[in-house]
């Protein structure tokens, strides 16, 4: 165990600075990222899901009637997550705040909701041997785990946790620390993704449509406010993140402003559009309930 712990420490904290932000852009070109702490979890999760999907398909009495859309949602979510964290977009995000913001928004506002919609836990568990699957199911049903999950996935709590993660990591000192330290950068991305999954799960799975729309509206408001603060700031707030902007034809302030606009408008549009869709569902259901009540009284 001591050897394993030492190995984990070396991999996590001993990665060369070439993986971090702010490298020399004059001698390199956009490249794929092969950080084992990113690539291995992606490969493992993708492989386990594929194995689980095949196992469930084999158990189905009528494979042609098996719903394909959850698998499609997971596939698109997985591909978008891999594109954000492994493709040259990640390299660009290491040198330009604008692309770093695009990367973060893909992780939080595209990949996370798609994976939540897919409800992948059951499929993932079917990739495991029967004994391990039953043991894991028992652990997940245990009182401490269920209590913690009920609290964390509550709509209000999940919205607050996700909001705290977004605002805390976008504080200039902490954001710049993630730019120059790869271990902190990993923790930043992990916290963004996990709290986003928690948030979208609370919206789609724990909340009524109207309440889910409200949580999305609140998230849209505070993330748009944060984006506006970055876009309208009269000076550069993120020194390390914007240090390479001149090599790409932008001033550091312009790079920061573009990043803020991306959080403000495109990301806000995703939250607003989803909130409107949930509101439409809520209104439609409310109208149906009213109509059913009137019909019952008429009888």
What are the distances in angstroms from CA 86 to CA 27, 104, 115, 148, 221?
20, 13, 18, 32, 30
pLDDT at 63: 62
pLDDT at 264: 95
pLDDT at 75: 96
pLDDT at 25: 54
- The pairs formed by 170-174 with CB atoms below 8 angstroms and a separation of 24 or more are 170/226, 170/230, 172/237, 172/238, 172/239
pLDDT at 20: 43
Those residues of the chain that have pLDDT short of 70 are 1-28, 61-66, 287-299
pLDDT at 18: 39
The pair of three-digit structure tokens given for residue 95, joined into one six-digit string: 């040198």
The DSSP call for residue 23 is: -
What is the Cα–Cα distance from 260 to 228, expressed in whole angstroms? 6
Task: Give the sign of the dihedral formed by CA 43, CA 44, CA 49, CA 55.
Answer: positive
What is the Cα–Cα distance from 13 to 119, expressed in whole angstroms? 33
What is the Cα–Cα distance from 105 to 97, expressed in whole angstroms? 12
- The pairs formed by 202-207 with CB atoms below 8 angstroms and a separation of 24 or more are 202/153, 202/154, 202/155, 202/157, 202/158, 202/159, 203/155, 203/274, 203/278, 204/113, 204/116, 204/117, 205/116, 205/119, 205/153, 206/153, 206/154, 206/155, 206/158, 207/155
Q: What are phi and psi of 44, to 5 degrees?
A: -65, -45
pLDDT at 290: 55
């Amino acid at each position: 165990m001591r050897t394993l712990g030492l190995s984990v420490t070396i991999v996590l904290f001993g990665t060369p600075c070439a993986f971090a932000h702010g490298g020399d852009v004059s001698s390199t070109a956009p490249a794929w990222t092969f950080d084992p702490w990113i690539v291995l979890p992606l490969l493992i999760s993708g492989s386990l899901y594929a194995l689980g999907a095949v196992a469930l398909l084999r158990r189905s009495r009528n494979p042609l009637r098996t719903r394909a859309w959850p698998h499609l949602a997971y596939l698109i979510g997985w591909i978008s997550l891999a594109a954000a964290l492994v493709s040259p977009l990640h390299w660009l995000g290491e040198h330009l705040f604008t692309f770093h913001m695009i990367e973060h928004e893909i992780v939080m506002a595209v990949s996370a909701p798609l994976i939540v919609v897919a409800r992948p836990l059951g499929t993932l568990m079917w990739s495991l041997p029967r004994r391990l699957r039953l043991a894991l199911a028992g652990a997940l049903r245990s009182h401490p785990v269920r209590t913690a999950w009920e609290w964390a996935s509550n709509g209000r709590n999940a919205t607050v946790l996700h909001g705290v993660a977004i605002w805390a990591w976008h504080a200039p000192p902490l954001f710049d620390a993630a730019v120059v330290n790869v271990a902190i950068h990993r923790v930043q991305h992990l916290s963004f993704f996990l709290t986003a999954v928690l948030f979208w799960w609370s919206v789609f799975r724990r909340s009524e449509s109207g309440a889910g729309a409200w949580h999305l509206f609140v998230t849209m408001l505070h993330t748009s406010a944060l984006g506006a603060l970055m876009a309208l700031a009269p000076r550069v707030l993120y020194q390390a993140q914007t240090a390479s902007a001149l090599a790409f034809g932008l001033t550091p302030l312009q790079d920061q402003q573009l990043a803020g606009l991306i959080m403000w408008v495109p990301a806000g549009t995703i939250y607003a559009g989803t909130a409107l869709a949930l509101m439409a569902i809520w209104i439609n259901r409310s109208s149906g309930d009213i109509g059913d009540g009137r019909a019952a009284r008429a009888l």
